Chain A
Amino acid sequence: MFYQIYRHRLYFLTFIILLIFPFQNCGPMKAIDSSELESLLSENDSLQNNPKMFACIDDNKLSKTPSYNLTKVQYTNTLKDLFGTNAINQALQSLNQLPDDLFDRFSNQRLSTFSKQTIDSYHQVATAVANQVTQSSTQVSIIFGACANQTNPGANCIDNYLDNFSTRIFRRPLTLEEKAAAKKVSNASGFNYKDNLKYLLIYHLLSPQFLFRLELGHQNDVNDKFDLTPYEVASRISFLTMDAGPDIQLLDDAKSGVILDVDVQKKHVRRLLRSQNGQKKWVKAITKWSGMDSTEDISLSPPELLALYPSDDLQAAMKEEAAEFVDYIIFEMNGNFSDLLTSKVSFAVNSDLAKIYGHTPAIANRTPSSPISMMVGRRQGLLMRAPALTSNRPTTSIISRGVAFQTDVLCNELPPPPGDLADSRDNQVFEPDERIITPNREAITIQTQDVTCMACHNSINPTGFAFENFGPFGEIRKDEMTFDSFGNLHARLAIDTSTEVPTWRGAKVSVRDAFDLVSHVANAPEGRACFSRKMFRYLHEKRENNDDECQLDKMYQELSRSDGSIAEGLVNLIVNPSLLYKQK
């Protein structure tokens, strides 16, 4: 009642506070407006264990969906599926020249645009693939039909290609105009027929129908919203699920129209999730979300630390093991969100990594019957694995760890500090001889004690403190080693990991260390909700808005079920009513 009466005054007060303290905007993401939040909060009173986190009001709502060109991964996967690995190997040099796609660190919005290098690579790859295909009688026969290898193929020889293989390139049947244009190339007089076929392939591989995920729909235009064709639905399912164009089964179901049935859609998504491309896509998505796809350069560490873990390939081993763990949880175990965050299973084959995880090296090339190694001590799940814990300095990265956990795992937005603020913080840097006798936790506390800094660091610091029992290699430690400027061990300082971590909507959780924090998030609605948001962004290359709440809710609800799984959550994220249409 108080809130109802004074709501407008509270808004004004909030506005003033935001003006005075620009960093008060550190906090949970706001994807829903306040009236929806009110109703949602009242519902939550009766849903203590599984509160609603998304305001799903209209199942048919969908935010704008851009028609991007294929990502480098999608382009490569699709070419491989169409023409086979040999043809792609011929084009590898040009393919490697294709610039990598760039995405915003937080929203995953596509940043890269077309450059000369992109266009040149498309042209060179198309030429190399077409050359390879038309130089092989077998390939010509498969793609264009046996008639194409004859001395005088008839004018209609190309029809086989136009009715079949080209449908896979365009991801839909060609129109009459497109077939006529293609025939002009294939039947051009005065040229060798296979040369004509080569240029036809180059033409089609440079076509926007191939290079872009175009969705032009076919009916029911209302308020810039329209229905997709069955072929466009099939394409969407395929690219969203496995970053490649639709296979023959999908195209067949598009042709018959059954792809518009929800059960058929789910059947395909479940199938494609477990394809090679599908598994690769989602293992990458989840390792990227958790920061396990990269490491800091630990080879810069002091010799005394390096001597403990001398493997040259330790960093690569860390990343590979994390990827294998994700693959195991999602696809072998059909695990849920809690499994991902709390399982103690380890696949560390590298002896140094096994030492870090506290077990003997796991069996390489394991089979389903192989014994499974388990991590020891207060370490569990994906978020406490080594890659994201590494540091390229003798000290741990309290701030980086805190920022990553708050932004990626709890979805609390933290704007970067402005330059002058960073300057003032840098002025707090200790003299080297002071620094090596000061615990990292204490140093960071002093450096960020300014009231402006604390607007964000009051959540960043305690989160990072909880991970202080992990050293710069991600190893569990009992004390903090400091080193002098020559890299010699100077002192062993006591560490303190107990803290109170802000989690969601002002709530705080008291933890002894990161193990407690991760246990809390593994079972907390905000953890599942944030994970759903992050997977949505990865899926659609954009930040969600209010119109996407239902999609997010479907994944969240699946993750919240006692027998739910991440894989099925992804199925729900992809298959929902919005799959069938596009919002301009």
Chain B
Amino acid sequence: MSKYKKLVENRYFSRRQFLIGAGKTVVTLPPLLSLMPLKVAAQVQKPRVRMMTFVGVYGIDPHQLYPIDNSISMTRFSGAAHTNFMNLNNLQEKVSRVLDFTTPELSGLQGKTNLYRGLAMAGGSYAGHNHSILSGTHSGGRTPTLGKSIDVIVEQALGVNAIRLKTTSGLGKANEFSFDRDSTGNRKISNLTFGDENLFRLLFPSGTQSAPAVTNSGPTRDESVIDLVLNDVNALLNHQRLSVDDKLRLQEYVDGVNDLQKRIISNREPNSSPIKCGTSNLSYEVRVGSNTVQSTDRLFENYADIITLAVQCDQSRIVHIANTAISNSNSNGAHPELHHDCTGASDGSAERQAWFLRRVARLAKKLDARVDPFDPNGGTLLDNSILLWTNELGSWTTHHSVTNIPAVTFGSGGGYFRTGLYADYRIRPLVSAKNGAETLYMGRPYKQLLISIMRAAGLQSTQYLKFGDGKGFGEFKVGYANTNYTTSAFQDFVNEHNNPLPYVSVGG
């Protein structure tokens, strides 16, 4: 079966799209949510959450991503052990070389970003580069031997095909994608097709369709009422007896209410230039070889536009991009620049990680610029998405450590995640061990973050706990290989490693 046919046969069609695709044939069907007026549907409909994962290869030197411990004061979460947090807003805008909100890509995203520290593969041992990081285990080999990648689990649970992209052999060298899964349901990233144009055509094979637009008529009374509220607060801001701090606090409220008003208006107004699913005005990136393009930056920009259109038109809700830019040799190419304790590896790795994170942030901004047509509350596509940028190693050195795995998320997953936080999950008091030149910090199981993401995507525990080592999702061992903590590193998490990550997960 060709990839195209397979895609068309397996692809998820919304009810609305199905009817349009059927040539506007009048079909009598029982009333469904997708056929109800949006406001009616909204009362019983939760936001449609999209899950996107972005995995890099080499790990990162902690000081390139996190603020310096001594320079900050965090709050301990009383509801769970080893959980400390602070608002990202209380840090410098340039949190670190990699997470820099002064850059155009990340500016303005603090409030919708989370930075996680201290997450560790509890008990996992490492055997080679792979992306089993998304399976909550790191047991070696390309295919997770324990567990199953969360993009696959969510894909199967929701019945929605995922978009998968992979870069290989160095940035800008090969950029491929695939929708495939193998017979066991695992992700399959062989036999890839190449390029933005092909991705677009695979996603929108049947030509132009109208994007689901929020239907509403005329100014709402909510808008009028909120105008009155804004008038009142703005008048108050000039009051002579308000202190500067009080005015700042009121201004925060004004900003928030203004945003609410914008969302309500966006929800009401028919888009002046309605998006047509399947219509592309992209300038596809020029190929200069069988699998190479002129500008990887522009290619990623196009991928981001296509992904945004795809989720807005509900062609997919799951995206996975693997940035596997590695060379086959330790002595040349990108590998020694990024890895294995070589001179300059810390900086080289950070540069490449920053590049990838900024591409993810650009996508986040595109999602944040679009109102989600499926959200009854008028949130943006980003509000109803959870984007995870992570890495398969904790540190950039030769030891392939899987403690302190870097993770950054954008979006709140439909309100499931608290956002705007720097969350530190290292075991307190700090429990560390030396591994060569590295200091490894033990922390909460990384898989708890993956569980939070799956919960945000709407999965019940029964849908993911079965994929693992028999003790729940992924893998969990009390000890940590090759350190002093072989017997008890993760003892504190014996009873909660299958729970969502505390504090950031407010959706239960």
Contact = CB atoms under 8 A, between A and B. Distances in A.
Interface of A: 64, 66-69, 97, 99, 102, 104-105, 111, 113-120, 123-124, 127, 181, 185, 191, 195, 199, 202-203, 206-209, 211-212, 214-217, 221, 224, 226, 293-294, 296-297, 299-300, 392-393, 399, 416, 418-420, 422-423, 425-426, 429, 431-432, 485, 582, 584
Nearest to A112: B87
Contacts of A124: 377
B488 A432 contact: yes
Interface residues of B, number: 60
A576 B135 CA distance: 61
Interface string B208-249: 000000000000011011101101110010010111011001
A114 B256 contact: yes
B279 interface: no
Contacts of A202: 222, 225
Interface in B286-300: none
B253 interface: yes
Contacts of B256: 114-116, 118-119
A123 B260 contact: yes
9 contacts: A67-B249, A111-B75, A115-B420, A117-B412, A120-B260, A181-B228, A199-B222, A203-B225, A215-B241
Given A214-B236, A399-B429, A426-B432, A300 B495 contact: yes
Contacts, number: 145
Given A116-B383, A392-B492, 6 more contacts: A68-B249, A119-B256, A199-B222, A203-B225, A203-B229, A416-B73
Contacts of A432: 487-488
A485 B231 CA distance: 65
B430 interface: yes
B173 interface: no
B221 A418 contact: no
A221 B243 CA distance: 13
A120 B261 CA distance: 10
B76 A114 contact: no
A244 B256 CA distance: 24
Nearest to A103: B75
B45 interface: no
A68 B79 CA distance: 25
B317 to A, nearest CB: 21
Contact of B484 (A224, A431, A584): A431
A64 B412 CA distance: 35
A393 B428 CA distance: 12
Interface of B: 68-70, 73, 75-76, 78-79, 81, 87, 89, 111, 221-222, 224-226, 228-229, 231-233, 236, 239, 241-243, 245-246, 249-250, 252-253, 255-257, 259-260, 377, 379, 383, 412, 415, 418-420, 429-432, 439, 484, 487-488, 491-492, 494-496, 506
Contact of B241 (A195, A203, A211, A226): A226
Contacts of B431: 426
B70 A419 contact: yes
A213 to B, nearest CB: 10
B245 A206 contact: no
A207 B69 contact: no
User: Closest 7 CB pairs between A and B?
Assistant: A485-B487, A419-B69, A119-B256, A584-B243, A67-B246, A418-B70, A114-B256
The residue in B70, B221, B259, B492 that gathers the most chain A C-beta atoms within 10 A of its C-beta is B221
Given A111-B87, A202-B225, A426 B430 contact: yes
Given A64-B243, A203-B225, A206-B225, A119 B257 contact: yes
A206 B491 contact: no
A216 B239 contact: yes
Given A117-B415, A226-B241, A300 B430 contact: no
Contact of B78 (A67, A203, A209, A294): A294
Contact of B249 (A64, A66, A215): A66
Nearest to B220: A199
Contacts of B419: 115
B233 A208 contact: yes
B162 to A, nearest CB: 27
Nearest to B380: A116
Given A114-B252, A297-B495, A422 B429 contact: yes
Contacts of A104: 75
Nearest to A130: B225
Nearest to B439: A423
Contacts of A120: 260, 377
Nearest to A206: B229
Contact of B245 (A66, A105, A118, A425): A66
Given A115-B420, A216-B241, A418 B429 contact: no
A3 B242 CA distance: 44
Contacts of B249: 66-69, 212
A116 B259 contact: yes
B78 to A, nearest CB: 5
Given A67-B249, A419-B70, A207 B259 contact: no
Contacts of A216: 239, 241-242
B69 A208 contact: no
A485 B260 contact: no
